[in-house]
Amino acid sequence: MSAKQIVTVFGATGAQGGSVVKAILGDSKMREIWTVRGVTRDTTKPSAKALESLGAETVSADLNDPQSVKAAIKGSYAVFAVTNYWEKGLPEAELAQGKAMADAAKEAGVQHFIWSSLLNVTELSNGALPQVSHFDSKAKVEKYIKSIGLPASFFLPGFYMSNLPGGMFRQSPDNTWALSLPIPASSPVPLLDTADDTGKFVKAMLLNRENILGKQILGATKYYTLEELVTEFKLAFPEAGKTAKYNELPHDIFKSIVTMMGQSEHAAEELLQNMRLMNEFGYYSGASLDESLGILGEKPTTWAEFMKKAPAFADLK
């Protein structure tokens, strides 16, 4: 029997990377082909030990240290590369981290580099939304990856379902439920159950390498309007749903809420422009999800299914 191929997964204890590790190791056929190497800063923490108990090898690396990134990637056939923009909140830091992983993969002869990417919103909006840096910097890394001739494909995660329950979709002091965002109720939002479904998409990308090299795979279940999200909440929880509604927040009110939660003015404007993207230009610029969903071997999680397991909705009837 031939030796297994190594897939190195960065951010292995985070939402996206953790999902990839679990999806591969939870699939007996994938385990026959792949050895999973999970990369994290601290291999002694409980979340890393949990990955080892599933059958992953864990290695330590710091994305700000290119030498440690090289060591982590060495010998890999495939790499899933993801960054956490919000850790530093600096586009130049994310760009440097992405380039370090790409350069190391190129040097190591990696055959399939999967970059967790997003669209360049400044370009997409013709400069109308110039501050969505956590999208733009990932898009710049994608452009760099293409420029160095690394065999790669690109996973573009949708809007995290986990951002909604208890955050943007919550109970008011008067016990009514509301989804509150600074865009119209008709805005289309491509939702992703990040922790459960990132791995489904990346697993499919690994299995369909020849067909998807160079392509963007859009990681979302479907486009939901904000109105639909509230309607499905009412169906899922009829008692709580009696009062549920959608609130379109004025832009300044949304920003003040974000700053009250401890974010800077700059971050508040970035998040506002991120929301406006969905209504004004489209999160994926209006692209169809059909091709991306077509490669999936498993069904993605629906909003109705996600609500039933969301801790913030656990006590609802």
* Interatomic CA distance for residues 248 and 246, integer angstroms: 7
DSSP label at residue 210: H
Q: Which residues of 204-233 are buried (b: 16+ CB within 10 A; e: fewer)?
A: bbbebeeebeeebbbbbbebbebebbbebb
3-state class percentages of the chain: helix first, strand second, coil last, to nearest 5:
50, 20, 35
pLDDT value at position 2? 56
Residue 317 has pLDDT above 50, yes or no: yes
Torsion, Cα of 174, 180, 185, 189 (10° steps): -140
The per-residue pLDDT for range 6-26, each reduced to its tens digit, is: 999 999 999 999 999 999 999
pLDDT value at position 1? 43
**Is 123 in a helix, a strand, or coil?**
helix
Within 8 A by CB and 6+ apart from 186, the residues are: 225, 226, 227, 279
pLDDT value at position 12? 96
Average pLDDT, the chain: 96
Q: Do residues 3 and 183 lie in contact, with contact meaning Cβ atoms separated by under 8 Å? A: no
Q: Do residues 199 and 155 lie in contact, with contact meaning Cβ atoms separated by under 8 Å? A: no
The per-residue pLDDT for range 128-138, each reduced to its tens digit, is: 999 999 999 99
pLDDT value at position 232? 98
The per-residue pLDDT for range 55-76, each reduced to its tens digit, is: 999 999 999 999 999 999 999 9
Rg (CA), the chain: 20
The residue ranges of DSSP E strands in the chain, in sequence order, are 5-9, 34-40, 57-60, 78-81, 112-116, 152-157, 159-160, 169-171, 177-181, 188-192, 216-219, 223-225, 245-248
**Is 46 in a helix, a strand, or coil?**
helix
pLDDT value at position 263? 92
pLDDT band at 172 (very low <50, low <70, confident <90, very high): confident
**Is 180 in a helix, a strand, or coil?**
strand
Q: What is the mean pLDDT of residues 188-214?
A: 98
C-alpha dist (Å) from residue 53 to 38, 73, 136, 221: 12, 21, 36, 30
DSSP label at residue 58: E
Q: What is the mean pLDDT of residues 198-208?
A: 98
**Is 177 in a helix, a strand, or coil?**
strand
Residue 311 has pLDDT above 60, yes or no: yes
The per-residue pLDDT for range 266-308, each reduced to its tens digit, is: 999 999 999 999 999 999 999 999 999 999 999 999 999 999 9
**Nearest Cα residue to 163 out of 181, 176, 177:** 181
**Nearest Cα residue to 129 out of 190, 182, 83:** 182
Q: What are the structural domains of the chain? A: 5-159+193-220+286-298 (3.40.50.720)
pTM for the whole structure: 0.97
